[in-house]
Structure 1
Amino acid sequence: MTDLGAPFATGRNADVYALDGGRVLRRYRDGGGDTAREAALMAHVAAHGFPVPEVYAADGPDLVMRRLDGPTMLGAFVEGRLPIERGAAVLADLHARLHALPLPAGAPTGTVIVHRDLHPDNVVLTPDGPYVIDWRDALYGPAGLDLAMTALICAEVSVDPTTDLAGAARALLVSFAALVGGDGVTAELGTAVAIRSANPTLTAAEASRVGEAAGLVVASVRDLP
């Protein structure tokens, strides 16, 4: 595709361009490999009723999808349009629904579909309800890994001295952990720490705070009533 103009949204490793017909193109800047696996998993979860944008085409680093109308959950938090406790409940419900889906043929037995990046900036609040985006890291594994990743990402924001969202992120972490249970967010925390520490999209400063964030997750669970 050519003559796309400027992207209307930019992430850590991809740019999103508006297309006609209510579609968007997400293009990975690093070449991104083949998006076919990502598109196939999105189609699978959509076929079983999980809220993801419809995928129209996948070609190399390009993914063409339906454009979603509405703010991200993070944006709704920042604008004061969504209470933290309500956002935590939405995240917990999305996890539960995702992990209850049937596996595609050939998936490892004893696993569930795990998104591995299900945080407020990857949830779009549309008039039809919340939709989950950015399935690049989705795999199969224990449900606890997904819960731990969400908790850890919230904790990373909580310990970031450069953001004004630290307090809100800490409140979200506590509310989320209370809903899914302490064991839910700590059972696979070590694996989540290893994955996040090796994430090439993190800056050196962000990667250096992953251990501190993990400690905050453990402390938050310990302090639950």
Structure 2
Amino acid sequence: MIGELLGIGRTADVYALDDGRVLRRYRDGSDTAGELAVMTHLARHDYPVAAAWPGTAPGELVMERLAGPTLREALASGTTGPEEAGELLADLLRRLHAVPARHSADPAHRILHLDFHPENVMLAPRGPVVIDWATADEGEPGLDVAMSALILAQAAVTMPAVAELARALLVPFLRRLEPPTAGQLERVRAIRAANPTLTEAETAGLGQALELIRAAL
């Protein structure tokens, strides 16, 4: 039975279930089959994702209920510092990009998260777990690095409540990874600009965010 509402995201709501699991329900009814397939593939390669099962409707996904704070919450409380968080994010991306693609014949292509940031890392008792695979795709690993950097930089220039933390995290994150190319940064800027869930201020801040990334590099 569906229980209390646990969280509201930009595209989906998460409800408690009475069996220790949660229900992720997309408000537009988006089919979760692809997301489930990616998570299953990653789990087979020992990547830290939540256990997941199909829901009763195309727009639903059932997952294990994870305990613990998000990495963003740990940063905000001071239990995790920017250097440690940057190292953790970089390590999780490196591990992700070691997993082979499911469909692409290009040997350089890997699974990409494309929405990888501190809110999508849960610090569970068993270790960090990466959540929210709705935007997952396959392609050049540098695109994932570029997108994460852009999300952090965008938060630094458009979200006063988290700006200081996002700015402090950007440099240690980028320092531990191969830097994205100018072309990759422009590609993710276009993807981000087309995202209908962004606010007008967030979209307007993309140019300033790219400047911040270039300065960090």
Q: TM-score if structure 1 supplies the norm length?
A: 0.91
Residues 202 and 66 (structure 1 numbering): CA distance in 2 closer, same or farther, change over 3 Å? same
Task: Quote the Cα distance in structure 1 between the aligned partners of 2:146 and 2:182.
Answer: 6
Q: Which runs of 5+ in 2 are unaligned?
A: none
Aligned counterpart, 2:216: 220
Q: In the alignment, is residue 55 of structure 1 matched against residue 52 of structure 2?
A: yes
Q: In the alignment, is residue 205 of structure 1 matched against residue 205 of structure 2?
A: no
Task: Quote the Cα distance in structure 2 between the aligned partners of 1:6 and 1:127.
Answer: 23
Contact map agreement 2:3 2:18 (CA 8 A) in 1? no
Displacement of 1:107 in angstroms is: 2.5
> Over aligned residue pairs, what C-alpha RMSD do you find?
1.4
Q: In the alignment, is residue 83 of structure 1 matched against residue 85 of structure 2?
A: no
User: Residue by residue, what CA displacement relative to the aligned partner does 1:102-124 show, whole Å, maximum 9, x if unpaired?
Assistant: 222x3242311100011000000
Partner SS state of residue 5, structure 2: coil
Displacement of 1:164 in angstroms is: 2.5
Q: In the alignment, is residue 46 of structure 1 matched against residue 15 of structure 2?
A: no
Correspondence for 2:98 among 97, 100, 111: 100
Aligned counterpart, 1:29: 27
Aligned counterpart, 2:120: 122
Displacement of 1:185 in angstroms is: 6.5
Task: Quote the Cα distance in structure 2 between the aligned partners of 1:108 and 1:62.
Answer: 30
Task: Quote the Cα distance in structure 2 between the aligned partners of 1:25 and 1:164.
Answer: 29
Task: Quote the Cα distance in structure 2 between the aligned partners of 1:94 and 1:146.
Answer: 11
Residues 158 and 129 (structure 1 numbering): CA distance in 2 closer, same or farther, change over 3 Å? same
Q: TM-score if structure 2 supplies the norm length?
A: 0.94
The size of the alignment, in residue pairs, is 215
Displacement of 1:205 in angstroms is: 1.3
Aligned partner of 2:43: which letter? A
Aligned partner of 1:51: which letter? P
Partner SS state of residue 140, structure 1: strand
Aligned partner of 1:138: which letter? A
Residues 198 and 25 (structure 1 numbering): CA distance in 2 closer, same or farther, change over 3 Å? same
Residues 154 and 41 (structure 1 numbering): CA distance in 2 closer, same or farther, change over 3 Å? same
Task: Quote the Cα distance in structure 1 between the aligned partners of 2:42 and 2:3.
Answer: 31
Aligned counterpart, 1:9: 7
Displaced runs of 4 or more, over 2 A = 3-6, 183-187
Aligned counterpart, 1:69: 67
User: Residue by residue, what CA displacement relative to the aligned partner does 1:123-172 show, whole Å, maximum 9, x if unpaired?
Assistant: 00011111000000000010000000110100001101x52321111110
Contact map agreement 1:112 1:140 (CA 8 A) in 2? yes
